[in-house]
Structure 1
């Protein structure tokens, strides 16, 4: 029989002291969060009879996770980032806010400050000889009005499944651009068809997923921030149809409304019109954002991001 002492007055007082609740310094919100984390942690230790060996194994896992900079990956893999989307969806429903393109996870690989283009852009630097991709669409509000001057901030992986900045072999801001929509709310870009990818096989995220009997694969996808004055900021991504992992994304980011049809073509006349030869691909995808007068809702959520530190 396991011993349980967390309910005793002495232990409760000890947890309050460790959380800083008995002093007037520090930050009240941080104290409240740490107090709850400590209370829940000792309950887990007691309820599941966690051994000292298991405890220190978990501590070491956190050290390895930080060393490999995979904390953002593991929270996606455990569904916690998707849970935040579900929670915000529920809050919207309760507040009567509806309509527009669904949100989905940002992931950990955004880089701020990508080059800004008017109307259209080329994302790739021409080094990766992938299939040329031509994507276009429009940005609307929920009453169907096109939004001129909206910013489409786009980023995605190369054919090897890696992202510039985090992959030093790629040029700065490769496969990353910000595009300002034209008078008809339209954006266009040329890029390459991205590849899906998996967690590093020797990393702590995949090690944990192995213990859960789960894979760590993502389907091919393209990330977007969509922003416009007087409209809610949208964090989303499209997943490309036909991918093996389309409905089995380890990060739980796939939503039916965000599955984009990608069309491959060998039509050399159309290829010539695009300025390429050989096989190419096309995607058309529109985004719809909600109106708001709240300044905070017009901005992306605050978090530490590359080049924003």
Structure 2
């Protein structure tokens, strides 16, 4: 049988994990082909789709294969498998295709927004599972501008706009000044967009902030904070929403103590959230 011939061809793979992956891939891929019986034209369409997906990737901003994985639910499935054991730590979610390394180091409460939007202060603590503060944890944060695009993706935005690396203080506290995140469509100008259009799916993600939080001795946390009032929470195009990651953006007065502390001259919103890290 052809399938077993191909499986056997990987039998001498030195790395046992690679051998298992390749043999399982062949079995499942062949099973898919037998079940669906694609025409040769459909098979070539699939090859072109994957080719075009690769062409839409670059080393800095755009990663169409991550986007494809996200929209097929594979990213969240991998996330669930790798974080299947309940520990009390903050839940994880998808990394997303628009992270950028080397973004500006920000001071406590510094404003990372250089484009217009409704002012927001996001603050809280980074804690151990036992509730102890974690000092000098790094919170790498990124979000879209009001036009629904990330800096780097949108070349008109200043470098580092709505991105930054914050650190917790001696009591584990962090504070970020930014703008209210907005719902936005994932990029639809590539193969993933064509797939969504052909299958009648919308491309929208609910408003969120991305976080990657690191501290020595702890597992790196990759997660989002979602606006609990967003209309796309139940139909996120990448299936990334978890109820524990929703926050309320409360209206605050222009002249209160927090506004003075972070030099906000008008009304603003505030969201609070405590992150909990698992031991590495």
Sort the Cα spacing of 1:150 and 1:103 in 2 relative to 1 into closer, same or farther, 3 A: same
- What is the aligned partner in structure 2 of residue 12 from structure 1? 4
C-alpha root-mean-square deviation of aligned residues, in Å? Answer: 2.2
Residue 14 of structure 1: how far off its partner (Å): 4.6
- What is the aligned partner in structure 2 of residue 284 from structure 1? 272
Residue 165 of structure 1: how far off its partner (Å): 1.9
Residue 275 of structure 1: how far off its partner (Å): 2.6
CA contact (8 A) 1:152 1:179 kept: yes
CA contact (8 A) 2:210 2:223 kept: yes
CA contact (8 A) 1:121 1:177 kept: no
CA distance in 2 between partners of 1:120 and 1:280 (Å): 14
CA contact (8 A) 1:164 1:172 kept: yes
CA distance in 1 between partners of 2:106 and 2:242 (Å): 29
Sort the Cα spacing of 1:281 and 1:51 in 2 relative to 1 into closer, same or farther, 3 A: same
Larger radius of gyration: 1
CA distance in 2 between partners of 1:208 and 1:200 (Å): 12
Matched residues, number: 272
- What is the aligned partner in structure 2 of residue 63 from structure 1? 51
- What is the aligned partner in structure 2 of residue 74 from structure 1? 68
- What is the aligned partner in structure 1 of residue 174 from structure 2? 187
Residue 35 of structure 1: how far off its partner (Å): 3.6
- What is the aligned partner in structure 2 of residue 129 from structure 1? 116
Sort the Cα spacing of 1:27 and 1:272 in 2 relative to 1 into closer, same or farther, 3 A: closer
CA contact (8 A) 1:206 1:215 kept: no
**SS of equivalent to 1:149:** coil
- What is the aligned partner in structure 2 of residue 220 from structure 1? 207
- What is the aligned partner in structure 2 of residue 305 from structure 1? none
- What is the aligned partner in structure 2 of residue 105 from structure 1? 94
CA contact (8 A) 2:129 2:276 kept: yes
CA distance in 1 between partners of 2:71 and 2:200 (Å): 12
Unaligned runs of 5+ in 2: 58-63
2:165 aligned with 1:178: yes
Sort the Cα spacing of 1:32 and 1:137 in 2 relative to 1 into closer, same or farther, 3 A: same
CA distance in 2 between partners of 1:41 and 1:169 (Å): 42
Unaligned runs of 5+ in 1: 1-7, 293-309
2:169 aligned with 1:148: no
**SS of equivalent to 1:231:** coil
- What is the aligned partner in structure 2 of residue 45 from structure 1? 33
Sort the Cα spacing of 1:201 and 1:235 in 2 relative to 1 into closer, same or farther, 3 A: closer
Q: Summarize deviations over 1:265-290 as a string: whole Å, max 9, x none.
A: 4x332386243334422111111112
Sort the Cα spacing of 1:288 and 1:11 in 2 relative to 1 into closer, same or farther, 3 A: closer
- What is the aligned partner in structure 1 of residue 61 from structure 2? none
CA contact (8 A) 2:184 2:204 kept: yes
Greater mean alpha carbon deviation, residues 203-212 or residues 283-292:
203-212
Sort the Cα spacing of 1:243 and 1:57 in 2 relative to 1 into closer, same or farther, 3 A: same
